[in-house]
Amino acid sequence: NAGVTQTPKFRVLKTGQSMTLLCAQDMNHEYMYWYRQDPGMGLRLIHYSVGEGTTAKGEVPDGYNVSRLKKQNFLLGLESAAPSQTSVYFCASSPPGQGLPAEAFFGQGTRLTVV
């Protein structure tokens, strides 16, 4: 019963390096999301996807790219990491529809430090 799985759990990057965070869900959810959590700022939506092959910008998309080539996977990319991207990143998934009794499920997070 894996739910939402994020890889890796921890990473340290040097400024300017690139990396990809992987999110995988086994609940057959249509929608997937990437959030970042920062002290004093709470959780903020970076990008999201409403289905395979689709992506959309959230609240704080700059400096990130995403891809949803398969329904179960949602990738978050940092092309040129900056210290301001030091954060804890959370992936989430949910069934489609508004106002339905459907919950959002979150992964365990990826703690990223950019030095």
Residues at the site binding another protein, with contacts judged by CB under 8 A? 4, 31-33, 40-45, 48, 50, 58, 90, 92-109, 111
- Least Å distance, CB 80 to another protein, is 27
Cα dist. 113→10, 11, 55, 58, 90 in Å? Answer: 8, 6, 25, 22, 14
- Least Å distance, CB 108 to another protein, is 4
18 half-sphere exposure, CB direction, 13 A CA radius: 7
Closest CA to 77 of 33, 21, 7, 35: 21
Question: Which residue lies nearer to another protein by CB, 16 or 44?
Answer: 44
Q: What's the start-to-end Cα distance of the chain, in Å? A: 35
Question: Which residue lies nearer to another protein by CB, 16 or 96?
Answer: 96
- Least Å distance, CB 15 to another protein, is 25
Question: Which residue lies nearer to another protein by CB, 58 or 63?
Answer: 58
